[in-house]
Amino acid sequence: MREPEYIIEIENLKKYYKTVKAVDGISFKVKRGELFAFLGVNGAGKSTTINVISGILRKDEGKVEVCGYDIDKNSAGARQKVGVVFQNSVLDKKLTVYDNLKYRANLYGIFGEQFKSRLNCISDMFDLSQILKRPLEKLSGGQKRRVDIARALIHKPELLILDEPTTGLDPKTRITVWNVIEKMRKEENLTVFLTTHYMEESSVADYVVILDSGKIVSQGTPHKLKSDYSSDFLRIYKNIEAAEKYFSSKGRNCKRVHDRLEVEFENTEQISEEIKLQPQLFTDFEVVKGDMDNVFLKVTGKQLKDV
Amino acid sequence: MQELRKFVSLVQRNIKTFFKDKMIFFVSMITPLVMLVLFSTFLRSVYVNSIKDICAAFNMVADNKLLEGFAGAWLISSILSVSSVTVAFCSNTVIVNDKTEGNLNDLLISPVRKTTVSLSYYASNFAVTFIVMFGVLVVGFIYLGIFGWHIPVGDLFMILIDMVCAILFGTLLSGIIVNCFISKQGVASAVSGLVSSMYGFICGAYMPISQFGKGLRDLLACLPGTHSVCVMRLHFMSGYINILAEKGLPAEGVKALKDGFDANLYIGGKYIPVGVMYGVLLGACAVLLAAYVLILYLKGKRMH
């Protein structure tokens, strides 16, 4: 049977908690095999949406299809094909890594030899062999996160949901986590549904949806979002006083950051024009393209890092 | 079949999680043992003297070791009856932790039925309570062995049945309360403490209900917990009472002992036969089970 092009299809999803509209009529689709990023501040509705997709929460309205299953008709079928890495580790702290993986695998109908074979595979992938016999509570933050992801992948899901998977991790572990996810995407055609506070993580996504107060406020590829919403920044390192005076007089948004002046432009062409007009101001400078932080700020009026 | 294997796996996971938490295991095990020490230190002599007085009223001087054993049997039956409820509350820690720490969500995202998860909590709670209580029972038997063992094999078997009935009652009661009202560890500890301190008095385990006023005595005698205590007492103490009878305690003396130490139960002055006590206890379990299933069903329908 041919697999559907979209692994998630959501139409007009609504979830209210009394008067709070946690998710208010959102619609989007996630293509099979892509890295999909879901952005929003705390309370935007990201976790509620994830909980509906993963079968923890019941929706109020709308249609949700996951891995070809309508969750109203066959939620268990969808759950068999979805792996979730929660924001905080939700494994059993007192149990060993082995026991955690065994008991969770059992819930997907993976027992005995089948489990051992899958464990070997996942253990190699995440370098778990040295820590299999250790209780989860004795592991470092990075090791725990590796186990969390291993647990989410123990049943070979088609869709991996990552709810802020690298929050609180050191940079080295973040890179390790992402390397593993990338490997899984390439080798097993895994679709990754990601929520994150790190904009550099969302900038490598294939598609981004920005959520605010339960509604989708923008969506598209990172390139399109940057083109549509973000600014370019001119950084000037010499003649700062003169440059600030000049660009302020032209009504440009200027900001001193340590040893440089940062001036905001709508696009790179405007900067080229200024270089031609005032070449004496451009003895030491660089042009920086706007990032996803900038997009998020423009779209929602909120700074994602601060929340 | 697959769902049954998942159920068994969940039960194993819950039991292992409980026993791996040494602190919780220690607390659940130590509570009945502390009660045993406190009882035997402060109350044993009171009860031995009380039995002596009853025997003396019928012109009988009983062997002190036999009386010590009788008092011990009364104490152990009390402790086991109370523990069936207090340990059951304590062993609900796994479900409360799963709720508060989000582990429950990790189970619910898997293709396992919610009822399977809920029933696994009940089954593991029953198993954990049974294991802990069995440990307490063994300690109790050692205690009785030291002070004088007079429990026939038939009663020994009945004591195990009584214990299973008591655990069934305690785990269903605690399961309903935890499922309905508790989702935080602090609340669970508070409720557990409250139950531990109250239940022993309510079911007549800390003091024989024969010593209470008539109104209160009749009220407490209507509660299923009291019936659980009485059947347990009867099987713990009947061996000792039979020896006393063989050694010359008349039938009135036997009745006085049984009445005074709650091996006989009366409501409104009417004697309640043992079969009726089991009926009340198992009937209460059936009602609690129905309530438990109904709560799970309603929670499942209303979930989130």
Q: What is the pLDDT of residues A276-287, one digit of tens each?
A: 998 888 889 998
Q: Are B69 and B240 in contact (CB under 8 A)?
A: yes
Cβ–Cβ below 8 Å for A92 and B12: no
Q: What is the ipTM of this complex?
A: 0.84
Nearest by CB to residue A80, choosing from B102, B111, B304, is B111
Nearest by CB to residue B20, choosing from A90, A94, A108, is A94
Strand (E) or helix (H) holding A106: helix A97-106
Long-range contacts of B193-202 (CB under 8 A, 24+ apart): B195/B85, B195/B86, B195/B89, B196/B31, B196/B82, B196/B86, B196/B89, B199/B82, B199/B85, B199/B86, B199/B225, B200/B78, B200/B82, B202/B226
pLDDT digits (tens, 9 = 90+) for B161-214: 999 999 999 999 998 888 777 878 788 888 877 887 788 888 877 888 888 888
β-pair type (A82-85, A159-163): parallel
SS3 of B100-135 = HHCHHHHHHCCCCCHHHHHHHHHHHHHHHHHHHHHH
Q: Is the pLDDT of residue A269 over 50?
A: yes
What's the average model confidence in pLDDT over A48-56? 91
Query: From CA A173, how far away is CA A192, in angstroms rounded?
Result: 19
pLDDT (0 to 100) of residue A307: 43
Interface test with A, best of B11, B106, B302, B303 (most A CBs within 10 A): B106
What's the average model confidence in pLDDT over A207-228? 89
pLDDT (0 to 100) of residue B106: 93
Which range is least confidently modeled, A116-120, A299-303, B44-48, B102-106? A299-303
Q: Is the pLDDT of residue B280 over 90?
A: yes
pLDDT (0 to 100) of residue B192: 79
What's the average model confidence in pLDDT over A33-49? 89
Angle, in degrees to the nearest 10, between helices B274-302 and B153-181: 30
pLDDT (0 to 100) of residue B288: 94
Interface test with B, best of A100, A106, A108, A149 (most B CBs within 10 A): A106
**pLDDT, greater one: B182 or A122:** A122
In terms of Cα–Cα distance, which of B205, B262, B222, B97 is closest to A137? B97
Q: Is the pLDDT of residue A140 over 70?
A: yes
User: A103 to chain B nearest CA, in Å?
Assistant: 6
Buried b / exposed e along B26-36 (16+ C-beta atoms within 10 A): eebbebbeebb
- A29 strand-pairing partners: A9
Nearest by CB to residue A99, choosing from B16, B101, B303, is B16
Contacts of A100 (CB under 8 A, 6+ apart): A91, A92, A136, A147, A151
pLDDT band at A301 (very low <50, low <70, confident <90, very high): confident
In terms of Cα–Cα distance, which of A51, A56, A83 is closest to A67? A83
Nearest by CB to residue B109, choosing from A58, A84, A111, is A84
Q: Is the pLDDT of residue B304 over 50?
A: no
Q: Is the pLDDT of residue A306 over 50?
A: no
**pLDDT, greater one: A186 or B223:** B223
∠ Cα B5 B7 B10 (to 5°): 110
Cβ–Cβ below 8 Å for A92 and B304: no
Q: What is the mean pLDDT of chain B?
A: 89
For B258, the token pair is 């049984």
Cβ–Cβ below 8 Å for A106 and B20: no
Query: From CA A240, how far away is CA A257, in angstroms rounded?
Result: 11
Q: Are B96 and B184 in contact (CB under 8 A)?
A: yes
Q: Is the pLDDT of residue B107 over 50?
A: yes
List A residues 111-130 in contact with B (Cβ-Cβ < 8 A): 111
What's the average model confidence in pLDDT over A300-306? 63
A135 DSSP 8-state letter: B
Helices marked H in chain B — which ranges? 2-20, 22-38, 44-57, 64-90, 93-101, 103-108, 114-147, 153-181, 185-202, 214-221, 224-246, 251-260, 274-302
What's the average model confidence in pLDDT over A21-32? 93
Contacts of A96 (CB under 8 A, 6+ apart): A132, A133, A134, A135, A136
User: B262 to chain A nearest CA, in Å?
Assistant: 43
3-state SS assignment for residue B95? helix
Chain B neighbors of A82, CB-CB under 8 A: 109
Q: Is the pLDDT of residue B284 over 80?
A: yes
pLDDT band at B240 (very low <50, low <70, confident <90, very high): very high
Instruction: Give the CA distances from residue B267 to residues B118, B156, B214, B224, in Å, rounded to whole numbers and listed in that order.
Output: 37, 27, 9, 13
pLDDT band at B302 (very low <50, low <70, confident <90, very high): low
Question: Best-predicted range by mean pLDDT among A184-198, A254-268, A293-307?
Answer: A254-268
pLDDT (0 to 100) of residue B47: 87
Q: Does A55 touch chain B (CB under 8 A)?
A: yes
Q: Does A20 touch chain B (CB under 8 A)?
A: no
A108 DSSP 8-state letter: T
pLDDT (0 to 100) of residue B235: 94
Count of other CB atoms within 10 angstroms of residue A188: 14
pLDDT digits (tens, 9 = 90+) for B29-58: 888 888 888 888 888 888 899 889 989 898
pLDDT band at A25 (very low <50, low <70, confident <90, very high): very high
pLDDT (0 to 100) of residue A1: 54
Strand (E) or helix (H) holding A15: strand A6-17
